[in-house]
Protein backbone atom coordinates (compact mmCIF):
# COMPACT_ATOMS: atom_id res chain seq x y z
CA UNK A 1 0.00 0.00 0.00
CA UNK A 2 1.24 3.49 -0.83
CA UNK A 3 1.36 6.22 1.80
CA UNK A 4 1.64 9.81 0.51
CA UNK A 5 3.78 12.33 2.41
CA UNK A 6 3.77 16.10 1.90
CA UNK A 7 7.23 17.61 1.53
CA UNK A 8 7.59 21.04 3.12
CA UNK A 9 9.30 24.16 1.77
CA UNK A 10 9.88 22.87 -1.78
CA UNK A 11 8.94 26.30 -3.17
CA UNK A 12 12.33 27.54 -1.96
CA UNK A 13 14.23 24.73 -3.73
CA UNK A 14 16.29 25.55 -6.84
CA UNK A 15 15.38 23.89 -10.13
CA UNK A 16 17.59 21.01 -11.27
CA UNK A 17 19.36 20.76 -7.91
CA UNK A 18 19.24 17.55 -5.87
CA UNK A 19 17.99 17.71 -2.28
CA UNK A 20 17.48 15.12 0.45
CA UNK A 21 14.16 15.13 2.28
CA UNK A 22 12.20 12.89 4.62
CA UNK A 23 9.07 11.21 3.29
CA UNK A 24 7.75 9.75 6.51
CA UNK A 25 10.68 7.81 7.92
CA UNK A 26 12.27 7.28 4.50
CA UNK A 27 15.04 9.62 3.39
CA UNK A 28 14.95 10.22 -0.37
CA UNK A 29 16.51 12.49 -2.96
CA UNK A 30 14.33 14.85 -4.98
CA UNK A 31 14.93 17.07 -7.97
CA UNK A 32 12.70 19.42 -9.90
CA UNK A 33 13.94 19.19 -13.49
CA UNK A 34 12.21 20.27 -16.68
CA UNK A 35 9.96 17.17 -16.48
CA UNK A 36 8.73 18.01 -12.96
CA UNK A 37 9.51 16.54 -9.56
CA UNK A 38 11.33 13.22 -9.32
CA UNK A 39 12.03 11.28 -6.11
CA UNK A 40 14.61 8.53 -5.95
CA UNK A 41 17.04 6.56 -3.77
CA UNK A 42 19.48 8.72 -1.84
CA UNK A 43 22.50 6.42 -2.32
CA UNK A 44 24.12 5.15 -5.47
CA UNK A 45 24.01 1.34 -5.71
CA UNK A 46 27.49 1.21 -7.26
CA UNK A 47 29.48 2.06 -4.12
CA UNK A 48 27.02 3.83 -1.84
CA UNK A 49 27.84 7.46 -2.58
CA UNK A 50 25.22 10.10 -1.90
CA UNK A 51 23.45 11.54 -4.93
CA UNK A 52 23.56 14.99 -3.31
CA UNK A 53 26.77 15.78 -5.14
CA UNK A 54 25.41 14.42 -8.42
CA UNK A 55 23.39 16.15 -11.08
CA UNK A 56 20.53 15.52 -13.52
CA UNK A 57 20.56 15.70 -17.28
CA UNK A 58 18.39 14.16 -20.01
CA UNK A 59 16.00 12.61 -17.44
CA UNK A 60 18.89 10.80 -15.75
CA UNK A 61 20.63 11.28 -12.42
CA UNK A 62 24.41 11.08 -12.61
CA UNK A 63 26.47 9.99 -9.60
CA UNK A 64 29.42 12.32 -9.14
CA UNK A 65 31.78 9.56 -7.97
CA UNK A 66 32.12 7.23 -10.95
CA UNK A 67 29.52 8.74 -13.28
CA UNK A 68 26.98 5.92 -13.17
CA UNK A 69 23.72 7.15 -14.68
CA UNK A 70 20.17 6.15 -13.83
CA UNK A 71 16.91 6.78 -15.66
CA UNK A 72 14.65 8.95 -13.49
CA UNK A 73 11.49 7.28 -14.81
CA UNK A 74 12.42 3.59 -14.57
CA UNK A 75 15.38 3.67 -12.18
CA UNK A 76 17.43 1.51 -14.55
CA UNK A 77 21.14 2.09 -14.79
CA UNK A 78 22.70 2.62 -18.18
CA UNK A 79 23.51 -0.50 -20.22
CA UNK A 80 26.49 -2.34 -18.79
CA UNK A 81 26.07 -1.01 -15.26
CA UNK A 82 23.73 -3.79 -14.14
CA UNK A 83 22.25 -1.71 -11.33
CA UNK A 84 19.20 0.40 -10.60
CA UNK A 85 17.78 2.89 -8.13
CA UNK A 86 14.33 3.09 -6.59
CA UNK A 87 11.98 5.69 -8.05
CA UNK A 88 9.20 6.96 -5.77
CA UNK A 89 5.87 8.22 -7.15
CA UNK A 90 5.35 11.99 -6.88
CA UNK A 91 2.38 14.30 -7.33
CA UNK A 92 1.75 18.02 -6.92
CA UNK A 93 -1.52 19.20 -5.42
CA UNK A 94 -2.18 22.90 -4.74
CA UNK A 95 1.53 23.65 -5.26
CA UNK A 96 2.55 21.06 -2.64
CA UNK A 97 4.81 18.12 -3.46
CA UNK A 98 3.82 14.66 -2.25
CA UNK A 99 5.94 11.51 -2.36
CA UNK A 100 4.54 8.00 -2.03
CA UNK A 101 6.32 5.37 0.02
CA UNK A 102 5.36 1.72 -0.04
CA UNK A 103 4.30 0.69 3.45
CA UNK A 104 5.07 -2.79 4.63
CA UNK A 105 2.13 -4.85 5.67
CA UNK A 106 2.42 -7.03 8.72
CA UNK A 107 1.83 -10.75 8.75
CA UNK A 108 -1.56 -10.24 10.44
CA UNK A 109 -2.65 -7.56 7.94
CA UNK A 110 -1.91 -9.98 5.09
CA UNK A 111 -3.59 -12.87 6.93
CA UNK A 112 -6.90 -11.03 7.48
CA UNK A 113 -6.98 -9.10 4.23
Residue ranges binding ligand FES (CB under 6 A): 44, 46-47, 49, 63, 65-66, 68
Task: Give CB contacts under 8 A, 24+ apart, made by 105-111.
Answer: 105/1
Q: In what side-by-side order are the strands of the sheet with 2-7? A: 2-7, 96-102, 90-93
CB of 43 to ligand FES, least distance (A): 8
Compare residues 7 and 87 and give the one whose CB is closer to ligand FES. 87
* 76 bridge partner residues: 84
CB of 72 to ligand FES, least distance (A): 15
CB of 30 to ligand FES, least distance (A): 18
Amino acid sequence: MLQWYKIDRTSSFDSNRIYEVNAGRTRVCIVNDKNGWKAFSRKCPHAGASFLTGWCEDNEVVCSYHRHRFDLTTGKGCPGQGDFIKIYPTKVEQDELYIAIETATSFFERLFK
